[in-house]
Chain A
Amino acid sequence: MDELEIKNLWTTYDKRLNENLVFNRKNAEQITHLKIQSVLSSMKPVKFTGIILGILWVWFLGNLISKAIYTASYFFLVSAGLQVLVSILAIGIYVYQVFLINNIDITGSVLITQEKLAKLRASTLLIVRLILLVMPVFTTFYLTSDMFIKENTLLWVVQSAVTMSFTFTGIWLFIHINYENRDKKWFKLLFSGREWNPIIKSSELLAQIKEYRIE
């Protein structure tokens, strides 16, 4: 089939739609009576909840650190400090997402709108990566200097192995969780399920947009 034939075929399709496509005005009119939120506005409450919970968590940890700064072990202070740092970064991402939500115009041109939408969805993956990166602090916050003197070697071997494996896994996942690895078995295992599909597809769309901008 050549170009002209294809165009003619599409014209036939158009003609068929003009003749047979029925628009149900009554059903469409009902939509005008509903209080409908846009897809983007409906995302805002979740993001605001994330910001508020994040601020409360940082406030709680900050208080804990300031009260225990002279009495708690260095391990606890450093672990809690790292947790505060990552939580602040996660709050920053949520604020960025709210900013994107407010700036996305569904009537805007396709590439600009889709780029913002894809960035919005893909940034959720960054929050997951940050949470994984901070995993090792959950294996260190309870350590004290006394334990180094009093506890036996076996405990230290186990403790070191656990902390090192959490650190290695956290850093490895932080680096490797990205679109390029979407077809790897471990990636599919971690991010299977319908709630992850839009996020993974957004990364794919961002790559398409980048390629599309090249003349």
Chain B
Amino acid sequence: MPKIMIESKNTELFLSVIAAHKGIIYKIANAYCKSEDDRLDLVQEIIAQIWISFLTYDNRYKYSTWIYRISLNVSISYYRKDRRRKEISNSLEDSNMLYLSESSYDDETDIKLGQLNRFIAGLSQLDKALMLLYLDDRSHKEISEIMDISTSNVATKIARIKEQLKQKFSQL
């Protein structure tokens, strides 16, 4: 098959994988960034890293596991004002890749979601990752594969974070 056709097929597959997992990328970027600008920047960085790693995708893992790993690794080690990232942004016509067309539901849900997101944002880098995976209903086995801790350790750590969360909400 000609090289150009392979590249085009890869690009299509890459875009469809991102489209199918956009929620994961958005939620993680949102949890690790305080400002809107930083989140745009982080989403761009995650998508760029997924593209760089796309040709070496290890099909032993599900796409979701693979995307969680890249998104969490990029987010945890993300620091603002990276010169290299600015160069990528400058090369793009528009660096906004994921955005919400409608941002609110109803007052009560918004308030509660705001509280939950603030709680997650206040967790340590690793607790944050674990909490996001737990809330996304990932099995302990998958969390263990993503994080590299034993399934029993996953259960212990999640129980501790849930206790913190319960206390936090009981104080409100």
Contact = CB atoms under 8 A, between A and B. Distances in A.
B93 A30 contact: yes
Contact of B51 (A7, A31, A194, A212): A31
Contact of A27 (B57, B77, B97): B97
Q: For the complex, would chain B's binding face be called helix, strand, loop or mixed by DSSP majority? A: helix
Contacts of A14: 23, 136
A3 B162 contact: yes
Nearest to B143: A110
Given A110-B129, A114-B73, A215-B152, A23 B92 contact: no
B47 A28 contact: yes
A113 B129 CA distance: 14
A106 B156 CA distance: 26
A25 B157 CA distance: 37
Contacts of B126: 110-111, 114, 205, 208-209, 212
Contacts of A36: 48, 51-52, 88
B139 interface: no
Interface in B29-73: 44-45, 47-49, 51-53, 56-58, 66, 69-70, 72-73
A117 to B, nearest CB: 5
Interface in B117-166: 124-126, 129, 135-137, 145-150, 152-153, 156-157, 162, 165-166
Residue of B84, B97, B99 contacting most chain A CB atoms (<10 Å): B97
A109 B52 contact: no
A154 B126 CA distance: 58
Residue of A2, A24, A109 contacting most chain B CB atoms (<10 Å): A109
Q: For the complex, would chain A's binding face be called helix, strand, loop or mixed by DSSP majority? A: helix
A30 B112 CA distance: 37
Nearest to B49: A106
Contacts of B48: 31, 36
Given A13-B113, A21-B22, A109-B146, A31 B47 contact: yes
Interface residues of B, number: 74
B153 A215 contact: yes
A153 interface: no
Residue of A29, A36, A205 contacting most chain B CB atoms (<10 Å): A36
A9 B73 contact: no
A18 B146 contact: no
Interface of A: 1-3, 6-7, 9-10, 12-14, 16-25, 27-32, 34, 36-39, 42, 106-114, 117, 194, 197-198, 201, 205, 208-209, 212-213, 215
7 contacts: A27-B95, A34-B91, A106-B53, A109-B146, A110-B72, A110-B146, A114-B73
